[in-house]
Amino acid sequence: MAGQAVNLELTEAQSAKVHSTVELLRQAVRDHGPVTYSNSLGAESMVLTDLIWTQVPQIDIFSIDTGRLPEETYHLMERLERRYQRRMRLVYPNAQSLEAYTSEHGVNGFYNGLNERQACCQVRKIEPFKRAIAGFGAWVTGVRHEQSASRALAKAVDFDAPNGLYKVSPILEWTHEDVWAYIRTNKLPYNPLHDKGYPSIGCAPCTRAVEPGADSRSGRWWWENSDSKECGLHPKIRIVATSKAPA
C-alpha cells in the first residue's frame, strides 16, 4: 500500500522509466495531437498529472465527476489545483440521462445486477468520457500491466477503434513500487484512501479496501466476478455477465 517502502530517491531504472514516459507523451503529441489525459485521480494519475503539467503541458487533462466520488477525491482535486495553479476539465453526466437511470433503477440500482451496474457506468462515465475525448487525436491512460490479468495485455500505443482515436498508456511498465517512489520523491499529493487499503479508487459505493497483496482491481465491484471489473473505458477488455448482489 501507500505507506510501504518510503524511498526518497528514484533508482536508475525508475529514472529511465520517467524519461521514457515523458518521451512517449511528447511523441503522442507529435504524432497524434491534440492529446487528452483521462485522469482517474488514483496513484498513477498523480504521476501522470505531474509529468504532464510540468513537462508536456500542451496535453489536456480531464476527469469525470460521476457525482458518486468519495469526498477525499474532491479534496485531492483541490490540492492539485493549489500545487499546480491549474485546473483540469471536469466532465459531468448528462442530467436527463441520469434522471432517467435513477427513475428506472433507483438511486443505488447498480447493486442489482451487472446490467444495472453497466448502465450506471454508461451514464455516469462512458457517455461523459466520449464527450470529453471528442476532437482529440489520442487519449492517455494510466493503466499498468501488473494491475490485472486483462490489463497485462495492453499496449503502449494502440488504436482505440471503438472511439476512433489512439490510446496511449505511457506507464504500462511501471510497478506499484515505481509509482509510489515517484510520488514520495516528488512529495506529490495523493488520495488518503490509499493509506486505508484502497489500491484503486473509483465511485464511493463501488470501491472498497482490499487485503494487502490482493489484485489491485479486487476492491472494485467486488460483488461481480473478476472478469467484469472494468467500467467500459477500455473497450478491448471482455465483460462477463454475473448478477450477484453485494453482501
Residues that bind ligand SF4 (CB under 6 A): 66, 68, 110, 117, 120-121, 124-125, 202-203, 205-206, 231
Pick between residue 109 and residue 137 the one whose CB is nearest to ligand SF4. 109
Shortest Å distance, C-beta 67 to ligand SF4: 8
Per-residue cell: 150: 486483462
Shortest Å distance, C-beta 244 to ligand SF4: 15
Which one-letter amino acid corresponds to residue 227?
D
Distance, in Å, from the CA atom of 56 to the CA atom of 62, rounded to the nearest integer, reads 15
Pick between residue 10 and residue 98 the one whose CB is nearest to ligand SF4. 98
Q: Chain-centre distance of CA 129, in angstroms?
A: 12
Q: Chain-centre distance of CA 57, in angstroms?
A: 19
Shortest Å distance, C-beta 246 to ligand SF4: 11
Is 231 catalytic? The answer is yes
How far, in Å, are 19, 100, 112, 196 from residue 234 at the CA level?
A: 25, 25, 23, 27
List strand residue ranges (DSSP E) for 47-195, in order.
Answer: 60-64, 89-91, 138-140, 157-160, 165-168
Pick between residue 49 and residue 228 the one whose CB is nearest to ligand SF4. 228
Q: Which residues are the active-site residues?
A: 231
